[in-house]
Amino acid sequence: MALKRQRSTESEGKTTNTKIRCKGDAVKLITKHLTRDGENPSTSKAVAAVSEVAKKHLTVALIDRSNPLGRIMQEQWKVVEMRLLKALFTKIDADPSRRMPTFDGAGWFSGVKIIKCKDDPTVMWLKQAVKKLQGLWEGASLEIVDRSCIPTIPKAKVQIPRTVNPEYGLKLLQRQNTDVPTDDWKVLKVA
């Protein structure tokens, strides 16, 4: 006996037909294309998701390369912000008819300033303007990077049995995480 194929569950998308009664008892057949999970791909959720992905590169981070984690202090940001505003006003005065850089907001993430730009020319202007900033504070090395490039603290993980001597546990942690600088670590507390 041959088994019947279930094409509707095998394919990525599926098509459903719906009958709608119209004036004069005429029946109109509407075909809907659905994705695997039953959602219509042209819904506003799908369009919004695509739009958000397309705009993701417009959210950038201002990092200080002189800090291992790229962080800048709030007071330092105020200095940078004023210098960027001055550069923006200089651009306005130079050619008032040209399109100006526009921003969609700013915030903080792990001590790093996050800036949302409205468009690609704004991102390009911001990168160039930050490169030109000089004499901010000693050792300042500012750069605009993609938000995904924010430096992070390395995390060390190790499975230690409860009966292990704490010093052996530390040695195990150091040997299993060779990419983490653990030479000066010591056990502070055993729970």
Name the phi and psi angles at 112, rounded to 5.
Answer: -110, 135
Asked whether residue 184 is domain-assigned, the answer is yes
Number of domains in the chain: 2
Up-side HSE of residue 11: CA atoms within 13 Å toward CB? 11
Asked whether residue 10 is domain-assigned, the answer is no
Examine the domain organization and report whether 75 and 161 are in the same domain: no
Asked whether residue 191 is domain-assigned, the answer is yes
Examine the domain organization and report whether 144 and 190 are in the same domain: no
Examine the domain organization and report whether 118 and 191 are in the same domain: no
- Report the pLDDT value the prediction gives residue 127, as an integer from 0 to 100: 92
Asked whether residue 5 is domain-assigned, the answer is no
pLDDT along the chain (191 residues), means of 10: 58 52 49 52 57 68 87 90 91 86 86 89 90 86 85 65 78 81 77 65
Examine the domain organization and report whether 128 and 142 are in the same domain: yes
List the alpha helices (DSSP H) in the chain.
7-10, 44-55, 74-94, 120-132, 166-176
Which residue from 59, 50, 52, 48 is spatially nearest to 120, judged by alpha carbons? 59
- Report the pLDDT value the prediction gives residue 83, as an integer from 0 to 100: 92
CA distance 56 to 172: 40
Asked whether residue 111 is domain-assigned, the answer is yes
- Report the pLDDT value the prediction gives residue 183, as an integer from 0 to 100: 80
Separation of first and last alpha carbons in the chain = 65
- Report the pLDDT value the prediction gives residue 179, as an integer from 0 to 100: 80
In terms of residue numbers, what domain contains 144?
55-149
Here the tokens at position 158 are 């190790």
- What is each CA distance from 181 to 153, 173, 174, 190, in whole angstroms? 11, 11, 8, 21
Q: The domain that contains 140 carries what CATH number? A: 3.30.70
- Supply the pTM of this predicted model: 0.54
